[in-house]
Structure 1
Amino acid sequence: MAINIKFSLVLLIVVGTSMAMFSIPQAKANGEVKETKISAYFHDYFSVQYTPNATDVVVVGFPGMNWNYTKFGTLLVLDDLVTEGPEPTSATVGRLQGMYVPTSFDGAYVSMYFSLVFNNKAYNGSTLQIQGTVDQFASVMEFSVTSGTGKFRFTNGYFTMETISFYQPTFYSLLRFNVTVKHY
């Protein structure tokens, strides 16, 4: 009986150690984790239906309901320009692409799933995957950075965004984001 318990304990330790070795990302040769902070702006042009200038569009919602960014269950997609400065003519960083849906009955909370797709010189071809459920009318919204590609493999961190300005006649919003990630 004692031999079976010892063998089981040894087997558990060997299997557990093997699983830990294969599930923990290995550091680069220098063994250091890098921290990267990025601040930039994105330009959002909302439209209920697709127009040539729209970068944030309603895809579908519940039949018989008014579809927009405050109506529970409305699915929206976005493909916003990301720039270094607040002007749309500022140097391009990449695109913010993804989808979101109001998930609270009052339309205040939205679940967002998007990628920050870089095309600038520093991070070209890399992405950050961002997700979370937030109060879309809060002064600052915070999301999780769940993964990345390219220079941001094995990343995690957080992403905050805040509305800088909103122009009602054209539904143009200028938003600033700050992202902090740790990666190898």
Structure 2
Amino acid sequence: MATRTNFSMLFLVVSGIVMVMLWVLPAKADGELRETNMTVYFQDYSGGPNASSLPMVGFPGKIWSVTDFGTLLVTDDRMTEGPELTSATIGRGQGISVTGLDGLNAYVSFSIVFTNEAYNGSTIEVQGNSNQFKAVREYGVVSGTGKFRYARGYVTVETISYDRSTYYALLRVNVSVRHY
């Protein structure tokens, strides 16, 4: 009798596993891993009437700047297809950065938020720590939504130009992600 009960339980467990596999495997077959590489540009203003990147918090009694430990900057840059100011807007670069103790390194966390027709509503989530004055900074892609669901990869950010009189910086953002 015990052998018959054990066989019945084993049959139920194996049947359950097979049913789950038959249900899950087709779902995974539909979600093909893709790789996307793109270059976008952030039009960044760190001052003036069109400011899109500003220090928000720092130590009391000190000037808040990107070189002072603990300064928190918020950013909401216009993201364009090309480097020209007249280039088509395809989204926003929105996030924060916090300056480290040495005044060089900063923790950065930002979202690449798409508003263009091809990727509307999709995001790529970026974070990492690097020397904010290096010519090219690299950050990890930790997630994504919409057309970039489960994104993993990296982003490099390069300052192409900076005009001190207008506080305008042009940033080239190279994105390389794998996603479903």
Which TM class, normalised by the smaller chain length?
0.7 to 0.9
Q: Equivalent of 2:172, from 151, 172, 176?
A: 176
The count of residues paired between Structure 1 and Structure 2 equals 157
Q: CA deviation at 1:106?
A: 2.7
Give structure 2 stretches of 5+ with no counterpart. Answer: 1-16
Distance 1:27 1:133, change over 3 A: farther
Q: Equivalent of 1:80, from 77, 83, 87?
A: 77
2:90 matched residue in structure 1:
93
Instruction: Measure the CA separation in 1 of the matches of 2:27 and 2:117.
Output: 25
Counterpart code for 1:97? Q
Question: Larger Rg: 1 or 2?
Answer: 2
Q: CA deviation at 1:151?
A: 0.7
TM-score if structure 2 supplies the norm length?
A: 0.82
Q: CA deviation at 1:35?
A: 0.2
TM-score if structure 1 supplies the norm length?
A: 0.81
Instruction: Measure the CA separation in 2 of the matches of 1:28 and 1:123.
Output: 22
Question: Residue 29 of structure 1: SS of its match in structure 2?
Answer: helix
Q: Equivalent of 1:149, from 145, 152, 157?
A: 145
Q: Which runs of 4+ in 1 moved over 6 A?
A: none
Q: CA deviation at 1:29?
A: 2.9
Identity of matched residues, %: 56
Q: Residue 40 of structure 1 contacts residue 83 of structure 1 at CA under 8 Å; is this kept in 2?
A: yes
Root-mean-square deviation over aligned CA pairs: 1.8
Q: Residue 61 of structure 1 contacts residue 74 of structure 1 at CA under 8 Å; is this kept in 2?
A: yes
Instruction: Measure the CA separation in 2 of the matches of 1:54 and 1:76.
Output: 12
Q: Could you say which structure has the higher helix fraction?
A: 2
1:8 matched residue in structure 2:
none
Deviations 1:80-111 (A, max 9, x none): 001011112101110000110101x2311010
Give structure 1 stretches of 5+ with no counterpart. Answer: 1-16
Instruction: Measure the CA separation in 2 of the matches of 1:160 and 1:174.
Output: 14
Instruction: Measure the CA separation in 2 of the matches of 1:45 and 1:62.
Output: 23
